[in-house]
Chains A and B, each alone.
Chain A
């Protein structure tokens, strides 16, 4: 096959490209330039968008012996990922830009261009496994290395996208990948893993958002109130950057009456109000999801001992029952209702709920609202 290997400059995508080439595929490496101003993104060895990363990817391609190019996706990235990130935070939600990037950039803009240019598939260094199901559909499963499993951020991929994808690392542990990189003479073998959001240079989301949002910032400050009494406990300098479940950075002078830590329970961007309360207030067991993306056939009800949802990257699995509204009926557009059998804590609208059956990814939805069942309410009362 003709494979386009997306190479971030990190060790994983370098080994993925090398494995694809050694499997006999005709591989071409590309690095995605995602920043309009490359210096402004993360510097050093942690991100995926710097000039150093581009050079690292180029040197890996040299050593693997494949052609290498840089593709400029900066405009698309800005429109589809960065703007969305800002809009979501401005609306008081907590987006995951990595899922968005996979959905809109790596497995859409890049994949479409690759297929048009005559490639058969796009290979990345994500830790997830693809298998052919008996029904002829491609299934995506969790990686063997559960510590590195990235099926969560790929939960937005549809059957068509999966059918043109290749994840050569899904059956391997990270330490084996690093060892293989060293054995192949790849200079990125010891490069640290990337964390955080690649376009927020110093990891300070709130500071970045305040600077970039400008006029679109819904408020420049407001009250921090107690969620049950309504009492004003303090002030903050803007709701953007607050996340439900957040404990640090509230800077409340007086401790809670019970002496226990307080957490952000709700964010109201229009009034600029951040509600805080005890940890119990974070517990929920009902989730509404919108914008569902299904890896294969659209289900109606998913139930059973192996059905779980994951609610954040590297988060735990929650056993669940998932119901999908019939697409198009009274405008509900196939929304997803999730009952968690194991309650979750600190779940923010905007995050993705990725639905699994065992190790297989069924699909995902963007969380629009959370709630408690009366049973959970009683249990916490």
Chain B
């Protein structure tokens, strides 16, 4: 089995760093995008095995980006985990409506996130 690629769409440098360091211990290959638009482009350029999508992003929201990817036949089947702020009522519903595979509220535990990733896309 070849190495699995994960695309992380997040504008905050520290959050990206957490995931980068978390996945450095694993066999997953990480690609990063800093806003919704470039996230969608990156997924279309090279099909990832999993996308981690933040909700509040510059240029295009994570929900809209998810909808775009679901609408594109090439990326329609890629699993997407939406990461959002807690407390916003109906976020889970919105993530579900946009076509997310799973939903995770911030602040998440890196341990839990890794478990979730492994559950959806087992390491090579």
- Does B bind A? no
Residues of chain A touching chain B, judged by Cβ–Cβ distance below 8 Å, are none
